Amino acid sequence: MKEVCVLGSTGSIGLQTLSVLKENDNSFSLVGISCHSNADIIYQQTKEFKPRFVAIDIIEKDHPLKDLCSNNNIELIIGENSSSILSSKIKADLVLNAIVGTSGLEPTFNIINNGIDLAISNKESLVLAGHIIMPLAKKKNVNIIPVDSEHSAIYQCMIGEKKDSVEKIILTGSGGPFLKRDLSTFKSILPEEALKHPNWDMGKKISIDSATMMNKALELIEAMWLFDISYEEIDIVIHPQSIVHSMVYFKDGSYKAHLGVPDMKVPILYALTFPNRSSSNVGSLDFKSLNLSFEKPENERYPVLGLSEKLIKDGGNRVAVMSIANDYIVQQFLDKKINFEDMFTTLVDTVKRFENDSSPSIEELITLDKNIRLYFNSK
């Protein structure tokens, strides 16, 4: 039995992970779960899986989760940073971090620091602190297995290959719901429209990030750290069907591509079972009816791609400021405080306001998050 802990168990990836674990309950035991405030869902998960630990930041005083845990000898961690506390004390074979945004940073660090293998869905922690996380994982001899479909694809293409054989990584992205929308109407895009991704059913933040292609910018940085490769060696290509999950181009002229139905349960299952594979019921592709197309992302449609490239070149904490600010900007758009186009202008403005720092520590990044939050709360 592989002991697994899932942080962010109530979200889109968290729920799918628990359903994969349930389908494979002969192989896995769920030993810890966490969320921010979704007490009713985590209550049901606790009832079903009876993990050793449950962590939640905010909960009503009389919520039945409390009795459920005490009656079943389950340790319940309550309060701000409960996922971080859980991640620093959990003993497991693998932790899957499916927390959204900057809040995933401390847990990612704690898991690796404790020498536990990490299935990483929280790309933001790599964007913020890849310079700390990757060397630490090496020092602690910890595996970081990507859950993000593109990175899972690249990871699988890289198996058996030498790093110096790699010429390029081709990171595919669907282009989101506004790939063909008239640019002059972008101001009036509603959150409801932006949340409707053509191929994937995901959490709110990543859905908005997919519409702006901030998601691909974050994924490019995620790939730089995971595969120790420079941004010049990564091409972003639009592939509206999301069947080719990414590709690697080798120096002998060969390409390796990873294909499959667009279903996150596949990379989740792979991360859970690595280095083995288990059967799944996601189904196969019908190649006779497939029409695959690829195109170049338009700069005007996705201005964040150009901005992120500039910020990568600038170095230091620039992409960390971008990623943290983006968490709050997306929320402002969802709350209808700013329009779709304002997200980009606000991002450019915010990045300028925060000083560069050549190699921020985890503590400095947490302080940076607090300062950026204060800045948005005071606006």
Does 37 bind ligand NDP (CB under 6 A)? Our answer is yes
Q: Which does 36 bind (CB under 5 to 8 A by kind): ligand NDP, Mg ion, none?
A: ligand NDP
Taking residue 57's Cβ as centre, other Cβ atoms within 10 Å add up to: 17
Residues in the chain: 379
Evaluate the CA torsion angle 258, 292, 121, 201 in order and state its sign.
Answer: negative
Any idea what DSSP says for residue 295?
Answer: B
Contact call for residues 248 and 159 (beta carbons, < 8 A): no
Q: Which does 2 bind (CB under 5 to 8 A by kind): ligand NDP, Mg ion, none?
A: none
Collapsing DSSP states into helix, strand and coil, what is residue 29?
strand
Among 4, 17, 32, 38, binds ligand NDP (CB under 6 A): 38
Contact window for ligand NDP (CB under 6 A) among 12-20, 230-238, 272-280, 369-377: 12-20
Closer of 35 and 157 to ligand NDP (Cβ): 35
Residues 181 to 210 in contact with ligand NDP, rule: CB under 6 A: 200, 202-206
**Pair of tokens at residue 63:** 């919520």
Q: Measure the CA–CA gap between 270 and 147, rounded to whole angstroms.
A: 8
Among 3, 106, 148, 327, binds ligand NDP (CB under 6 A): 148
Does 57 bind ligand NDP (CB under 6 A)? Our answer is yes
Q: Measure the CA–CA gap between 31 and 11, rounded to whole angstroms.
A: 18
Does 320 bind ligand NDP (CB under 6 A)? Our answer is no
Q: Which residues of 137-164 are buried (b: 16+ CB within 10 A; e: fewer)?
A: beeeebebbbbbbbbbbbbbbbeeeeee
User: Tokens 């968490």 — which residue?
Assistant: 327
Residues 81 to 120 in contact with ligand NDP, rule: CB under 6 A: 83, 98-100, 103
Q: How far is the CB of 325 from ligand NDP (least distance, A)?
A: 16
Collapsing DSSP states into helix, strand and coil, what is residue 92?
coil
Does 148 bind Mg ion (CB under 5 A)? Our answer is yes
Does 127 bind ligand NDP (CB under 6 A)? Our answer is no
Does 369 bind Mg ion (CB under 5 A)? Our answer is no
Q: Which of 32, 25, 44, 43 is nearest to 8 (CA)?
A: 32
Closer of 7 and 321 to ligand NDP (Cβ): 7
Q: How far is the CB of 162 from ligand NDP (least distance, A)?
A: 28
Does 264 bind ligand NDP (CB under 6 A)? Our answer is yes
* Count of chain residues binding ligand NDP (CB under 6 A): 30
Q: Measure the CA–CA gap between 311 and 323, rounded to whole angstroms.
A: 11
User: Tokens 């294909």 — which residue?
Assistant: 259
Using Cβ positions, the residue closest to ligand NDP within the complex turns out to be: 11
**Pair of tokens at residue 35:** 């969320």
Does 326 bind ligand NDP (CB under 6 A)? Our answer is no
Site residues (CB under 6 A) for ligand NDP? Answer: 8-14, 34-38, 57, 83, 98-100, 103, 121-124, 148, 200, 202-206, 264
